Amino acid sequence: MNRLMSVIDGLHDEMTASLQELVRIPSVSPKYPGVEYKDHVGREGEATALLTDLYRRAGASVDVFAVEEGRDNAVGRIAGKGEGNSLIFNGHVDVVPGGHPAEWTKAPPFSGEVIGSRMYGRGTTDQKSGLVAQAYAAIALREAGIELGGELQLQCVVGEETGDHACGTGAVVERGYVADAAVVSEPSAPPTPLSIVVASPGLLWFSVTVEGKKVHGSMRGATIHPTQPGDSIGVNAIDKVFLVYQALRALEDEWAHTQRHDLWYNGHFSLLPGAMRGGPGELTVPFALSDSATIEYGVMYHPERSAEDVMAEIQAVIDRAADADPWLRNHRPRCEWKLNWDPFVTSPDDTISQAVAGAYRTAAQGTDFSDQPSYTGLYGVCDATVFTRTGVPSVVFGPGDLRVAHGNDEYVDLDEVWLAARTYAVLATRWCGTASPVS
């Protein structure tokens, strides 16, 4: 094992350079809300091409394919030379938009600039660093002369940021690329760097829309004062949608007490009012009462609950809020359910969980990191769901921290990338076995 660790250590600078090159490709998901598809399609394919070269350097035969033109996935297969378990290393090349460059204070969003031990740029944490670490783990195995007993698959996919599984990991699985276990290289902090993630919440996206009654803004007082005609003149939809907001906010507070799990802090499961629209028709001036108001919600729900159960609870809360208001009682709020992303759960005692823990212990020895593995729940959602749904036990383990993902000045600690690569390499030798002893 010392020989393998030495090879990875010698690849540190190359690994950093490859990550920098990958970050400089602005592979924004072309289906991300608010972006023009035609302006971004094809950039994921450019990122996949870079990783394909790394997979071939590792000795893999590579299958490059796309469900939508320009959105290439790649699966590199390193055939086993004997008896052993098969293993998938998976990650996504698509990223969210970089935002306004002026709001980045350390470096431009697609620069990959290195400052101290950190690399800055969109996708550094989420999650190009994990993909590069997995690729270099495989390269190190080859350069150390290690032949695995079971097959190792290196998968880079598109579409994860929008839940577009049919174009990404779902398409890979449908093409027949499954294994005895999978490790998804999403950032697995917080709470600590390189935790082993054995579960995720579920995610729901829905909108709730409330109807109002448009009238000139000077009529505001006449619509709300108890001595005046009220809703016979007009109704401000923004006022009414806040009744729904307040009811859902109370539900969120209730969840902090009733929806608890040992892998997350109390209050993690939540209902985020992440976007809002309202106004008189298409106008955005405050001179008329709004005839429509919509709030878009992102819901993180407990992994032991079904989406149907959560949806029913939310709908019941909205219905009670409507029943308590004379206007909403007869003008019911409308919910549109747009996305469900199921949770995944793998026991910490599962063989793949324990294998990652053992590999981490070995890889972290003699480093500045703790060599004691920690288990956690992912704060967000990821493609491990796709694997577990098809019977492939999966965990998340990767460099980076979700607390800086999708934000300005996103970065990754390069020492974490290095330690992740060491861990992946050790894991592959132990999970897949080797054709000859590893020195």
In angstroms, the CA 169 to CA 91 distance is 9
Q: How, if at all, do strands 87-92 and 182-184 pair?
A: parallel
Candidates 72, 126, 161, 410; catalytic one: 161
In angstroms, the CA 205 to CA 25 distance is 29
Q: Which residues of 397-422 are buried (b: 16+ CB within 10 A; e: fewer)?
A: bbbbbbebbebbebbbbbbbbbbbbb
Helix (H) or strand (E) holding 77: strand 72-78
Task: Name the token pair of 151.
Answer: 């097959």
Determine the residue type at 22. L
Q: How, if at all, do strands 334-341 and 394-396 pair?
A: unpaired
Q: Are 416 and 117 in contact (CB under 8 A)?
A: no
Candidates 94, 126, 143, 296; catalytic one: 94
For residue 356, give Cα distances in angstroms to 18, 80, 255, 296, 424: 25, 20, 32, 38, 8
* Radius of gyration of the chain, Cα coordinates, nearest whole angstrom: 25
What is the CB neighbour count within 10 angstroms for residue 282? 5
Quickly list H helices, 24-179: 37-40, 43-57, 129-143, 169-174
Instruction: For tokens 């190359």, name the residue.
Output: 14
For residue 151, give Cα distances in angstroms to 29, 30, 323, 334, 398: 30, 32, 59, 50, 21
In angstroms, the CA 417 to CA 129 distance is 6
User: Which residues on adjacent β-strands are paired with residue 216?
Assistant: 288
Cis ω for the linkage preceding 127 (within 30 of 0): yes
Q: Is 161 a catalytic residue?
A: yes
Q: How, if at all, do strands 202-211 and 118-120 pair?
A: unpaired
Q: Is 180 a catalytic residue?
A: no
DSSP string, 6-40: HHHHHTHHHHHHHHHHHHTS--B-TTSTTS-HHHH
Catalytic residues: 94, 161
